[in-house]
Structure 1
């Protein structure tokens, strides 16, 4: 029998997919051009199984041990695992060995370690360069002025593939202000493409600014509570 939680996740997932389709239509995007990354931080394995049953196969994790436990529990499933948490130097090996994508590369040192530590036999680690478009001191991400040089250096590394840019801008409620932040990322990526980099991913947009991100060219939106509901309390 389907539980209430399973019904809730199925309902939320359907609603999120409809929001994405509506935004694609409203802003002249190709249908299906915006992918959904379900951010499953602190959600139980059962919640991921429910989303899987509804056709969701890309999941984002913020914590290495939690991600490792889920990968082990769901090893038989066809899942694309994305790391979306902050990366310190002592975390790069676990990211390189266990994930398909990483969205939070913001320093060349981290990119080099990921490249060096990616195991032979695995495909290249798909990477996004995180950019601090709003200039917030509390946020991770490369400074916009440093992005061009950094992107070219990362793109030249073996064992990883730079796919595009990612941002987590300042939280604002006004739609035009949301769009302005995402526009800065889109324009920066366009400059890199003009420089000859083969980039195809803009990872931007969350529950409160999904539509603004799609309007400005997002190819992947990262949603957590909109899919799974409130996160369980973090265990001490």
Structure 2
């Protein structure tokens, strides 16, 4: 990705976010650039265009990129499911973990966050549509999980994150966003430091902003379509 391409894509995304936020009468939502599967050069180009916060799905994929780009002072968010055995690496490398959904993970991150780093920013991932195949806690589990995070000195509770079911029915998606906004308002009333509701992606971030998102996660609308997976030798046609 060239600097010109990155600048144009970032400008367009920020303009759309600003327009959606203004139309909804809300403060401008923050952009998180989803950089999974993108190489360090593409991220560096987007950073040169002015983007500072990047989201990665996999700890092992992210670590080399974080190391390679350390001098740029970027902000790194983990937005994929986190296994407990990866909590040590995540607590050391990332600035935010958006996918905390169980007590065991809270304890592991709090224990592993280095004392010389600022507290780790944490979002609780909520399975708002109760999808069996999706990570995230049930909505009714949020208060207890939030209390555990707030009580951990090496963690900082910032809010909620969700990935609503990818249904075609726009009204259903908006209803899920609205339910998250209600949950977020209740959480913020109990914890004054809560300020982030992360929801909405490239295809539905405008709806998410209208329903109350303060952060949207955009990948393909910034970087373009993801490159196809390489064809293995057994997949090649004769």
TM-score range, shorter chain: over 0.9
Spell out the pairing of 1:1-236 with structure 2 (5 A cutoff): 5-30=2-27, 33-234=28-229
Partner SS, residue 159 of structure 2: strand
Cα displacement (A) at 1:135: 0.8
CA deviation vs aligned residue, 1:78-127 (integer Å, no higher than 9, x gap): 20011111111110000000000010000011011000000111000000
Distance (whole Å) between structure 2 residues aligned to residue 193 and residue 20 of structure 1: 23
Counterpart-to-counterpart distance in 1, 2:86 and 2:171: 37
TM-score normalised by length of structure 1:
0.93
Residues 191-232 of structure 1: per-residue CA shift (max 9 Å, x gap): 122334531100111011111111111111001111101223
Distance in structure 2 (CA, Å) of the matches to 1:9 and 1:43: 13
Indicate the larger mover: 166-175 or 35-44.
166-175
Is contact 1:9–1:229 with CA below 8 Å preserved after alignment?
no
SS in 2 for 1:87: coil
The whole-number CA distance in structure 1 between the counterparts of 2:189 and 2:54 is: 31
Please identify runs of 4+ aligned residues in structure 1 that moved more than 4 A: none
Shift of 1:6: 4.2
Unaligned residue ranges in structure 1 (runs of 5+): none
Q: RMSD across aligned C-alpha pairs, in angstroms?
A: 1.6
Inter-partner Cα distance in structure 1 for 2:7 and 2:74:
18
Secondary structure of 2:70's aligned partner? coil
Q: Take 1:202 and 1:114, find their aligned partners in 2: how far apart are those partners?
A: 21
Higher relative contact order at CA 8 Å, sep ≥6: structure 1 or structure 2? 1
How far apart, in 1, do the equivalents of 2:129 and 2:206 lie? Answer: 18
